[in-house]
Structure 1
Amino acid sequence: MKAYRLIEWQRPPGLCDVEVPEPSGGEVLIRIGGAGVCRSDLHIMGEPPGRRAWVPPFTLGHENAGWVEALGPEAQGFAVGDPVAVYGAWGCGVCRPCRSGRDNYCERRATAGYTGGGLGRDGGMAEFMLVPAVGLLFPIDGLDPVEVAPLTDAALTSYHAVKRSLEVLVPGSTAVVIGVGGLGHLAVQVVKAVSPARVIAVDVEPAKLELARRLGADLVIDPELAAEAIIEETSGTGAELVLDFVGSDATLALASGSVRAEGALTIVGAGGGHLDWEFATVAPAARFSRTLWGTRADLAEVLTLARDGAIEAQIERFPLDRAGEAYDRLRSGSLQGRAVVVPS
């Protein structure tokens, strides 16, 4: 089969011929319907050898959905042909976060040989993908696997970030979404779906601001005007929740200056920025945090929102032989929503 693989660190991935894996034990072989294209893959491609315990080559793609193709003799609970989403954060299963259902915060991530399909182990940018256990699969009857694929990360990460601060999103509250890209456009929808909060969206691209408006944002603002506008729109107090999906110096400064006292700032974007901390300028009792992906329970709730029509990923499809183009478009910032690689 064809697979889009990272062959060496700091080298462009390429399309390769590999054998179709056969499931054993409790493993499940998935025929991939769609694999989302994530910015974190760009960081992975550029990392130097030795930074992670992962060993190339491996197939990229950690946002995956498709159909059960075959099951190992010990795999139960699904049948051939069932449409499924793949939960992507594969923890060790024995550390405290994993045992409490928070595989996304596995304490052994830094030393593990892989942390998911496409993350040190073969992922979904191929015709087939081997999943180690049925517990990583979620039924998606009635949904299109191509549209579901980005929900397993882009929507899940956004949902988890919002859910952790849901208590501050009371009636009359405001949530600010900085960066209306692959995750941010879903965050706008998530906030509107699960809370009464007003949403202010911030982005440098007019087209992305228009997308945010169409998806339910109450106000869209250019970053040049955002700092003053957010304070003005919140009667001088700042927003209850600020979500930064960029993580640059500029957006972190905007985010930290826009959160109100006892509010929450969640940093999701890995833009390499630094957060300046001054005692006199940080809102009192504001909670600053960084989140990563989401839990299995979160994914079940995300899929329910999708079935109810409350959230929908805006996608652009690419065949497997154009996966490199999808990453180039992501790198250049010319995508709206999420790119999805469709192997067949």
Structure 2
Amino acid sequence: MRAVQVVGYGQGLKMAEVPRPEVTGPFDVLVRIGGAGVCRTDLHILEGQWAEKSQVQLPYTIGHENAGWVEAVGSAVTNVGEGDKVILHPLVTCGLCRACRSGDDVHCQNNKFPGIDTNGGYADYLLTTARSVVKIDDSLEPADVAALADAGLTAYHAAAKAARLLTPRDTCVAIGAGGLGHIGIQVLKALTPARIVVVDRNPAALDLATNIGADETVTADGTQVQQVLDLTGGNGAEVVIDFVGEGGATSEGIAMTRQGGDYLVVGYGENVNVPTIDLVSAEINIIGNLVGSYNDLQDLMALTARGAVTLHTQKYPLDNFQQAISDLEAGKVRGRAILIP
């Protein structure tokens, strides 16, 4: 089968012919890929940012946002069958550790992360397990929802966490209305009555934000912090969700957060540098957000099936993987890029 592989850090991806994985274990599920999301994390992988953390052996197949059709299942699999349309939770988890038994499977002590530390879905097929597959509604197609497996799930996890903190009197600022942010905005609209303010430097992204639920938009032209303060009576927002996490967004996001507020960081790429006296005196909470749980993914797919969340995509044939990577790196992708085998 075809597989797009990382062959070296600082190098381009390469297409290779590799053996198709086979079902061997009782809980194995082989999925024929119908769509694989192209994520900014993939760019960070190629830069070598994940090399020490993942310890993955090169070459390996990249791609951690995957959906498709069940091709084959192990003897003990009961939740899906051949031909079912599925989206894949990005982690393969054990089900036995304390985190898994608590429903916090994203922190599984024995996890594997296809596309990060083992073979992923920029390929014709991907081997996963019954614990990772979520059946999707018949009205949905794998290529249309694939990036919800990570970008959508991560955005949902942060937005749902924020929604538990917000009331109708509150303001939530979302920094970034791109691949992550445009999903988070829709989830916020579905889950919270708070006012939603979206900050982005791209006018097209702000137009999209308005169309999908933003109550106010702010152009990131260097005055964005002051604009947010003006919209909140000089106090800042009760919750700020930073879907960017680089290029100065972290310091700006904290400056937009009111005393006693919560700054949720989702995007990454730079350090958060805050004098401790500022944290103590303002009692600001800085909260990291990883990808969501299996239950989060089921909730997100329920919202998607009822039309409350729509993933905006640009689709590319698998053979055009380099164009998708280049477009993402150049900021030309509106929404999420999807590779289709």
Q: 1:161 is matched with which residue: 141, 158, 161? A: 158
CA separation in 2, counterparts of 1:263 and 1:50? Answer: 34
Indicate yes or no: 2:87 matched with 1:85. Answer: yes
CA separation in 2, counterparts of 1:2 and 1:43? Answer: 23
In the other structure, the counterpart of 2:181 is 184
What is the deviation of 1:311? 0.5
CA separation in 2, counterparts of 1:103 and 1:190? Answer: 21
Question: In terms of mean alpha carbon deviation, does 281-290 or 57-66 score higher?
Answer: 281-290
CA separation in 2, counterparts of 1:237 and 1:108? Answer: 44
Matches within 5 A, 1:183-202: 183-202=180-199
What is the deviation of 1:193? 0.7
In the other structure, the counterpart of 2:304 is 306
Q: 1:151 is matched with which residue: 140, 148, 153? A: 148
Judge conservation of contact 1:32–1:126 (CA < 8 Å) in 2. yes
Deviations 1:158-178 (A, max 9, x none): 111122232321012111111
Indicate yes or no: 2:12 matched with 1:9. Answer: no
CA separation in 2, counterparts of 1:258 and 1:50? Answer: 34
Give the letter for the 2:135 counterpart.
Answer: P
Matches within 5 A, 1:52-67: 52-67=54-69
Deviations 1:119-159 (A, max 9, x none): 2222111111111x211111102211111111111111011
Q: 1:173 is matched with which residue: 155, 170, 175? A: 170
Number of residues paired by the alignment? 337
CA separation in 2, counterparts of 1:88 and 1:309? Answer: 23
CA separation in 2, counterparts of 1:172 and 1:155? Answer: 26
In the other structure, the counterpart of 2:119 is 122
CA separation in 2, counterparts of 1:183 and 1:280? Answer: 29
| Alignment CA distance shift 1:15-1:263 (3 Å) | same
Give the letter for the 1:85 counterpart.
Answer: I
Give the letter for the 1:294 counterpart.
Answer: G
Judge conservation of contact 2:171–2:237 (CA < 8 Å) in 1. yes
Give the letter for the 2:43 counterpart.
Answer: L
CA separation in 2, counterparts of 1:278 and 1:71? Answer: 52
What is the deviation of 1:185? 0.8
| Alignment CA distance shift 1:50-1:274 (3 Å) | closer
In the other structure, the counterpart of 2:35 is 34
Deviations 1:200-242 (A, max 9, x none): 1111111111111111111111122211111111122211110
CA separation in 1, counterparts of 2:78 and 2:282? Answer: 51
Give the letter for the 2:179 counterpart.
Answer: G
CA separation in 1, counterparts of 2:194 and 2:84? Answer: 37
The 3-state SS of whatever aligns with 1:34 is strand
CA separation in 1, counterparts of 2:332 and 2:262? Answer: 30
| Alignment CA distance shift 1:250-1:265 (3 Å) | same
CA separation in 2, counterparts of 1:271 and 1:188? Answer: 21
Question: In terms of mean alpha carbon deviation, does 298-307 or 147-156 score higher?
Answer: 147-156
The 3-state SS of whatever aligns with 1:119 is coil
What is the deviation of 1:95? 4.3
Deviations 1:76-105 (A, max 9, x none): 332211101110023454543333222223
The gaps in structure 2 that reach 5 residues or longer are none
Judge conservation of contact 1:260–1:283 (CA < 8 Å) in 2. no
The 3-state SS of whatever aligns with 1:21 is coil
CA separation in 1, counterparts of 2:121 and 2:42? Answer: 13
Judge conservation of contact 1:249–1:274 (CA < 8 Å) in 2. no
RMSD: 1.8
Give the letter for the 2:80 counterpart.
Answer: F
What is the deviation of 1:41? 1.1
What is the deviation of 1:73? 2.8
Identity, % of aligned positions = 38
Give the letter for the 1:247 counterpart.
Answer: G
CA separation in 2, counterparts of 1:129 and 1:160? Answer: 25
Q: 2:275 is matched with which residue: 267, 274, 277? A: 277
CA separation in 1, counterparts of 2:127 and 2:288? Answer: 30
TM (normalized to structure 1)? 0.92
Judge conservation of contact 1:314–1:336 (CA < 8 Å) in 2. yes
CA separation in 1, counterparts of 2:263 and 2:332? Answer: 27
What is the deviation of 1:7? 2.1
What is the deviation of 1:108? 6.0
Indicate yes or no: 2:131 matched with 1:135. Answer: yes
The gaps in structure 1 that reach 5 residues or longer are 110-114
Deviations 1:244-270 (A, max 9, x none): 111125211111011112221111111
What is the deviation of 1:9? 3.2
| Alignment CA distance shift 1:38-1:271 (3 Å) | same
Matches within 5 A, 1:324-339: 324-339=322-337
